[in-house]
Each structure stands twice: as C-alpha cells, then as structure tokens.
Amino acid sequence: MAWHKEKKIDITLKIFIFLVSPFFSFFYSFKYIKTKSSFVFFFLIALFFGMAFTVPKGDLLGSTYDGSYYREQFELFRSASYLNYLDGLKDFLTFNKGRKDYYFETVAFFVSRITNNYHWLFLAFAAVFAFFALKCLKFLTSENNFNSSRSSFILLYLFMMNQIFNINGVRFWTAAWIGVYCIFQIFRNGNTKYFLLAFCLPFVHGSYWFFIGVILIAFFLRKFEKVWVILFFASFLVSSIAVEVLIDASNHLPPFLQSLIQSYSSTESLAKFNDQGEGFSWIARLSNFAVRLYINLMMYFFIKNSEKIKANYRSKNLYTFLLVYMSIINFTMPIPSFGVRFVMLAYPIIAYIWLVNFKGKRYKQFLYALPLVFWFVIYGQIVLYLSVLHFDFYISNPFYLIYKYLLA
C-alpha cells in the first residue's frame, strides 16, 4: 500500500492553506487523497476538531451530547489519586462492580494530571480515533480502482460513516475503528496476530465482547457459506424476535454482560429511542429503514456475485466475514443502541468490497442513489458539527485556535 508521489509545490500549497485555515485545508487535501501528506493533514485536522469540540458541562442537551457527560466526569478526575485509578483498573480486570470498560477513565485520569481544560481531553480522544480511522482508510484509497470519480467519493463517504464527530461518544466509536482495522488485518491480510488487538477492545467499550464472539464465529465457521446465506435472509425477515431471544440468553452470561444487555434492551431504552425526534420521529424511522434496506441490498448484490468476489484474493475472506457478520447483526437491529451501532462497522467492509469488485462495472446507478437514501443522515451530521463548533473554527488559523482552546 505505497503512497502516491507528489510534487513539492503541492505540499507547499497544502501547508500554506493549513496555516490560513485547517478547515479549508481539509477539503483541498481530498484533491491528492492518495498521498502521505494528505493523510498527515487529515490527522492534524482531526486533532483541531477535537481541540475545538465544545459542549456544555453536564447532561444539559440530552443523550445526543455524550460529550457533556464526559466533560463533567473529566473535571471530577482532578481530585482522583493514583490509588483510585488503580482500584478502578483492578475492578475492570476482575469484572468487579459491573465495570464494563476503562478507556475513558484511563485517558481522563492521565490528562487530568496535566490540566483541567476539557479541550485537551477531546484532543487526546481525537488522536486515537483518527489514527485508527486513517489506518483503515488507507486500505480503500490505496486501491487502483479508487480515483477522483463520483463513485469513489460516494464509497469514501460510506467507508467513513463513523466520523470524527463521534468522539462525542468516544468509547464505542473509537473501538469501532480499532475493530475495523482488526477485520482488515485478519480477513484481508491474513494477519491472525491482530486477534490480540481485538481482545483489547472491551477495555475501550464493554460491548465488544460481542464483537469478539462474532469475529471468532466468522473465522472458524465461514466455510458454511450456504448456511450463512440462508441465515442472512432469515435475519432480515425475522429480526423482530431478536430482543426477546437476547434477553433470555443473557440469563446464562456473566453478571457484567447481563447488565450490559439489559441496559440496551430495557423497556425504557426502547421507548426512549422510539419517542426521539418528537413530531419528526416518523422521518427518522423512515430514513433508518431506507438505509437498512439499502445496505442489505448491497449485501444481496454481493451474494449474487459471490463467485466473482471470492475469486479476488483481496475480498474473498472479507466477503465471508461480512456474510457472517451481517447475518448476526441483523438479528440485533431491533435493539436500537446495539444493532444500529454495530452495523456501522460493516460499512467500511461493504465500501471496500464494492470498490474492488463493482466500481465502474456494475450497479452504478444504484450506488449513485446512496446520497439520496442517506439524505437525513447527512443532514443530521451537518447539524451536529455546527452545534459543537464555534464559527471561528472555520475561518481561523491554527495558532489562534491553539491559543483559544488550549492555552487561554
């Protein structure tokens, strides 16, 4: 996965634009997205987003802004001692007191040793998030089929659906990019040592014990392709019973996993999700269904062309993993905070398989419809970005932003 060469004048121009406004340099870097310098600037821009990420203290804006909760908790860490931190780590390692993960506490504790400015915290979150996101993105942009075409950028959007804004809910979404990186290494590159990294994911977010289970099932049972094809179609049709099955199964799991499942599948959680959006909730539900249908149709096209996909060494094992993953994830879709989030780990895999097998050859008009299907998602993302950034982020130079958010 070698970088494309670029002229010194192009690098100089990128630096100049970045010094004028990191926000503008973000868009210019797309012009030469296959180059190392573009990825460097993407990483820097992610850092500046984390630095400028602004939320009120406490849960003042509701569940949309998990960052408010993280800010409040971080500011309490200033009074925590090393002994407090080590006791919490021990509780996590021994599954004691229902502690599900320890990533946020670890980052918050060590950043709080230096400062009580929460912008440093989200800067640290953005660094880890962007590092793994860009490691994954290089798999896509390094392919010969990736170019400056409309199809490539639509697939780029799908691949990067887990965007930098998601440091707002840092634990799950950071683990998501680490998990996707493990998938590419294990199932695309055949690097089984990355199972070790996958087993570290519950440290970041406790729900990734489920993800580890799915990876192991996919790795050892992927040869039963015909069975998984049947399960995929069945899962899409009968997923409404998944909640009851999962709750019943949770009774046989360790206590910390039982509490995790119950928190996602409780009556209160389901009601809260179904009532969100007030008078416009039907638009959100319609959009969610359209997106889910679209993604599953993409999966159907993969199944229909499976022989071609499996003939390509780059996509063969990724396809079999995806077939297993989607068959299982579809059953969890009725659990809003669970299935809807975990299915997004499939998006980069879907985008990659589509790029290396279909791009410019098949289903072009179907792919062009993606922005229309995802219009409500795109609108929501724009609104969220505008809500956590001040206007000066878009027009200011990096030195001003550093002073305002980190030093002042």
Tens digits of residue pLDDT in 199-208: 999 999 999 9
d(CA 60, CA 252): 37
* pTM, to two decimals: 0.89
Q: What is the mean pLDDT of residues 337-358?
A: 94
- Contact between 238 and 291 (Cβ < 8 Å): no
**The residue count for the chain:** 408
**pLDDT in the model for residue 40:** 96
Tens of pLDDT along 42-69?
A: 999 999 999 999 998 765 544 458 899 9
Report the candidate in 112, 107, 105, 108 with the shortest Cα–Cα distance to residue 88: 105
* Per-residue DSSP letter, 400: H
Of the candidate ranges 30-34, 160-164, 247-251, the one whose mean pLDDT is the lowest: 247-251
The band of 267, judged by pLDDT with boundaries at 50, 70 and 90, is very low
Q: Give the separation between CA 367 and CA 356, rounded to whole angstroms.
A: 14
pLDDT band at 277 (very low <50, low <70, confident <90, very high): very low
> Is residue 85 within 8 Å of residue 112, measured between CB atoms?
no
User: What is residue 145's DSSP assignment?
Assistant: T
Predicted local confidence at residue 215, as pLDDT: 96
Tell which residue, 402, 378, 390, 377, has the closest CA to residue 53. 390
Token pair 């929460």 in the structure block, residue: 118
Q: Is the dihedral of CA 364, 371, 167, 324 positive or negative?
A: negative
Structure tokens at 228: 């998984």
In whole angstroms, what is the distance from residue 154 CA to residue 330 CA? 24
> Are 345 and 158 spatial neighbours (Cβ–Cβ below 8 Å)?
no
More confident site: 163 or 263: 163
> What does the pLDDT read at residue 129?
98
6-15, 232-241, 303-312, 387-396 — which is least confidently predicted? Answer: 232-241
Please report, for the chain, the start and end positions of each structural domain, with discontinuous segments joined by +. Answer: 13-407
Element (H, E) at 189: none
Burial 85-108 (b: 16+ CB within 10 A, else e): beebbeebeeeeeebbbbbbbbbb
Q: Determine the Cα–Cα distance for residues 144 and 12; give it in Å rounded to an integer.
A: 26
Q: CA-to-CA distance for 221 and 219, rounded, in angstroms?
A: 6
SS3 278: helix
Joined tokens for residue 195 = 């199972």
Q: Which long-range contacts (C-beta less than 8 Å, at least 24 apart) are formed by 397-404?
A: 397/19, 397/20, 397/21, 398/18, 398/19, 398/22, 398/48, 401/22, 401/48, 401/51, 401/52, 402/51
pLDDT average, residue stretch 105-127: 96
pLDDT at position 263 over 60: no
CA end-to-end span of the chain:
42
Tell whether the model's pLDDT for residue 230 goes beyond 60. yes
Closest CA to 355 of 309, 300, 321: 309
How confident is the model over 159-179, as pLDDT tens digits? 999 999 999 999 999 999 999
Using the predicted structure, report yes or no on whether residue 35 has a pLDDT greater than 70: yes
User: Which amino acid does the sequence have at 221?
Assistant: L
- Distances in Å between the Cα of 373 and the Cα atoms of 7, 77, 92, 290, 355 are 38, 43, 41, 6, 19
The confidence score (pLDDT) of residue 360 equals 81
